[in-house]
């Protein structure tokens, strides 16, 4: 009986370790002086990383902005994501997070790298 339990436990553990991790990596280069949605987290997104790899500073609306009838970021309001910095967000599983909107505040272009653990994020 012990051998059967050991075999079943080893099988379950082997299956669990063989499931690949999922991550969606996206680059956004279209941030401009007008607010735009840069990412909409999926229903099962628990971790979201936004890294500003460009030369321009960006302001973010983490609450959905005008998509949720709230206020979009402006050149002086919203979460400031300076060039060369990153932001890590975590969410509850099963509760869809609001879209994240961005506006470019300095320079003429920048690049945002977005990494999430949910393939349904857009």
Query: What are the structure tokens assigned to 39, written together?
Result: 């990412």
Question: What is the per-residue pLDDT for 109?
Answer: 81
pLDDT of residue 82: 93
| Residue 82 near residue 59 (C-beta atoms within 8 A) | no
Residue 22: band (very low, low, confident or very high) from pLDDT cuts 50, 70, 90: low
Mean pLDDT of 1-20: 62
Please give the C-alpha separations between residue 48 and each of 5, 14, 15, 20, 34, in angstroms, as whole numbers. Answer: 39, 28, 26, 18, 23
What pLDDT score was predicted for residue 102? 92
Extents of the domains making up the chain: 22-116
Question: How many Å apart are CA 92 and CA 79, to the nearest integer?
Answer: 21
Q: Are 78 and 103 in contact (CB under 8 A)?
A: yes
Q: Does residue 73 surpass a pLDDT of 80?
A: yes
State the CB neighbour count (10 A cutoff) for residue 84: 11
Query: Mean of the pLDDT values across residues 90-94?
Result: 80
Task: Confirm or reject CATH 3.40.50.10470 for domain 22-116, answering yes or no.
Answer: no
As given in the structure block, the two tokens for residue 33 are 């002086």
Which of 9, 20, 8, 10 has the alpha carbon at shortest distance from 119? 20
pLDDT at 81 over 90: yes
Chain segment 34-66, per-residue pLDDT in tens: 899 999 988 888 889 999 998 889 999 988 888
Question: Per the confidence metrics, is the pTM higher than 0.85?
Answer: no
């Amino acid at each position: 009986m012990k051998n059967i339990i050991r075999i079943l436990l080893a099988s379950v553990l082997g299956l669990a370790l063989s499931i690949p991790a999922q991550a969606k990596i996206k680059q956004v280069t279209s941030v401009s002086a007008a607010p735009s949605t840069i990412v909409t987290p999926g229903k099962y997104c628990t971790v979201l990383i936004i890294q500003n790899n460009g030369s321009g500073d960006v302001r973010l609306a983490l609450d959905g902005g005008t998509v949720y009838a709230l206020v979009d970021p402006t050149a002086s309001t919203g979460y400031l994501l300076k060039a060369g910095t990153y932001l890590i967000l975590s969410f509850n599983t099963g509760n869809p997070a609001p879209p994240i909107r961005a506006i470019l505040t300095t320079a003429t272009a920048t690049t945002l790298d977005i990494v999430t653990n949910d393939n349904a994020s857009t």
